[in-house]
Amino acid sequence: MFKLPPISLYIHIPWCLKKCGYCDFTSYVDKNTLPEKQYIKHLLKDFEKDLSLINNRKIGTIFIGGGTPSLLKYESIQDLIQGIKKRTFISNNIEISMEANPSTLESERFIYYKMSGINRFSLGIQTFQSSFLKKIERTYSSKEAHKAIKIIKKINSNINLDLMYGLPGQSIKDGLLDLNYAINYDPSHISWYQLTIEPNTRFYQKKPKLPDENIVLSILKKGKKLLKESGYKQYEISSYSKPNYQCKHNLNYWNFGDYIGIGCGAHGKITQKNGNIIRTIKNKNMNDFLSGKYIHSEHKISIKDRTFEYFMNLFRLYQPVIKNHFRERTNINEKYIQKKIEKAIKKGYLIETFNSWNTTDLGKNFLNSLLKIFLY
């Protein structure tokens, strides 16, 4: 039986101190005073317009990302969260996450962020080694990265450390050193993912020399073992957590839940009562956004795309894909995809039970090949 899924809220803060060479997110380099009050006012108006689409569902999680949200004054974050709460229902014990850059971390400001309602911080460390920070064009030093974690741990226990591996010139020893540094700080969550070169980035125009594939695979294999031995459970391809500290917001994405996306360039996915699912993309142009032109595009997801997007998310998780869940989240009968499922099973990517589909180790290792079956 079809029912509306849980819904989250993503808020995009598009300013950065510098645009990193690998970054393909909508962001602007901060050269002058940020129009914070004006932007917050328009974020809330953008939010109001999307509320008409969600059928009175409670917001389950909030994630403030970027860009660099920690460039904003705490008063701006406070006004934003209070404004959200005034306009809609939110769940009790809601997870409210905020991304932060080590070079913007000031203890007093972060204490006020927490008082405003932020209860989970995600620090974009990427690497603790200054030589690699320079290679990927980050704006802080190794010393600042270590200092930032020490500050935030005094303020909040629920923190995520973002780390990358497969950096230009990185050895196996270098990759594992970063993980060891992170584990020694005992964060509740570690996001550990491979550097990939995306179109529309400076690294795509001028590609840096990345490590050999065998080095990357060795870092991954040894790193996963190290994380497991250190008490971190892998619940998604790039996500490792202590018990009960999985990121609820990201879990909603990966379980094909709904989310409102507000702010410059933000994306949203919203299911309607009739079972249709719409995608929203907000205006990337800051001047247009601040003049009230929030929507860039809005379209209904086709049945074919709905199927692919569902599996693109669910196959990332280390859990069975429940057939009933597929029906509930897509409003599609699994008979529609039976031939594709059979093809994936024949190739050794999936195992089917009466109630579920499970990715094999081969399926996880060749995830793109598995997904291609559902794309075409």
Domain ranges of the chain: 7-252, 316-376
Beta strands in 85-188 (DSSP E): 90-100, 120-126, 159-165
pTM of the model: 0.94
Q: What is the mean pLDDT of the chain?
A: 93
Helix (H, G, I), strand (E, B) or coil at 306: helix
Give the largest CA-CA distance in the chain.
59
Q: Report which residue type is found at 3.
A: K
Tokens of 306: 């709905």
The answer to whether the CB of 254 falls within 8 A of the CB of 311 is no
**pLDDT exceeds cutoff 80 at 365:** yes
- Nearest residue to 143 via CA among 107, 197, 112, 105: 105
Using one digit for the tens of pLDDT, what is the confidence trace for 259-310?
A: 999 999 999 999 999 999 999 999 999 999 999 999 999 999 999 999 999 9
The answer to whether the CB of 149 falls within 8 A of the CB of 185 is yes
* Alpha carbon distance 260, 47 (integer Å): 8
Using one digit for the tens of pLDDT, what is the confidence trace for 143-159?
A: 999 999 999 999 999 99
**pLDDT exceeds cutoff 60 at 117:** yes
Helix (H, G, I), strand (E, B) or coil at 355: coil
Q: Report which residue type is found at 66.
A: G
Range name among 98-102, 144-148, 204-208, 348-352 with the lowest pLDDT average: 204-208
* Alpha carbon distance 98, 68 (integer Å): 9
Q: What's residue 41's pLDDT?
A: 98
Q: What's residue 208's pLDDT?
A: 85
| CATH architecture of the region 7-252 | Alpha-Beta Barrel (3.20)
Once rounded to an integer, what is the mean pLDDT over residues 206-221? 92
Going from the C-alpha of 142 to that of each of 31, 119, 173, 220, 226, the distances in angstroms are 24, 25, 17, 22, 22
